[in-house]
Amino acid sequence: MAKVTELVAQLAAPAVAAAGCEIWDVEYVREAGEWYLRLYLDKEGGVDIRDCEAVSRVVSDLLDEADPIEGSYTFEVSSAGAERVLKRPGDFEKFLGSPVLVKLYKAREGRKEFPGHLKGYDNGDITITAGGKELTFPKAEVALCRLRIEF
């Protein structure tokens, strides 16, 4: 049986495309004793509140009809954000050269966070350039990698 996130992505895809957006990610998580179903959107030029509202109305009705989740949950639709987490190989390919922040599970050289520019992605291993040096982080060490805004 498919995971809840996969079912929701399939269910939502036509409505998201009709709104001129694409699905960046779907989360189904428990926080503070409550379940949340989150649909993150992306589109060229950025997602605004009207996009989120349009998708939310249609997908909420589709979820009510299909009822893919037992029990209660809160449904949220939002932009993937400027500092979005990169998860899939395609995310890393799309943002090669972009400023990122790599967070590690355990400290390396006395720290867990490494800002830099995304240089490469190979089977989960992430390479960045930072301060004129090239750093590679094995997949098992990386807690997350997200885009970073530079000022």
1 pLDDT exceeds 60?
Answer: no
74, 96: one domain: no
> Is residue 100 domain-resident?
yes
**37-56 pLDDT per residue, tens:** 999 999 999 999 999 999 99
For position 44, what pLDDT does the model report?
92
For position 36, what pLDDT does the model report?
97
97, 65: one domain: no
Crossing angle of helices 4-18 and 49-66, in 10° steps, is 130
- CATH number, position 93: 2.30.30.100
Whether residue 73 contacts residue 94, with contact meaning beta carbons closer than 8 Å, is answered with no
2 pLDDT exceeds 70?
Answer: no
The DSSP letter of residue 85 is B
94, 70: one domain: no
37, 57: one domain: yes
64 pLDDT exceeds 60?
Answer: yes
Of the residues 79, 112, 133, the one at which a domain ends: 79
The DSSP letter of residue 86 is P
Q: How many domains does the chain have?
A: 2
b/e map of 99-132 (b: 16 or more CB within 10 Å)?
bbbbebeeeeeeeeebebbbbebeeeebbbeeee
19, 45: one domain: yes
Q: Which domain holds residue 60?
A: 4-79
* pTM of the model as a whole: 0.84
Whether residue 37 contacts residue 74, with contact meaning beta carbons closer than 8 Å, is answered with yes
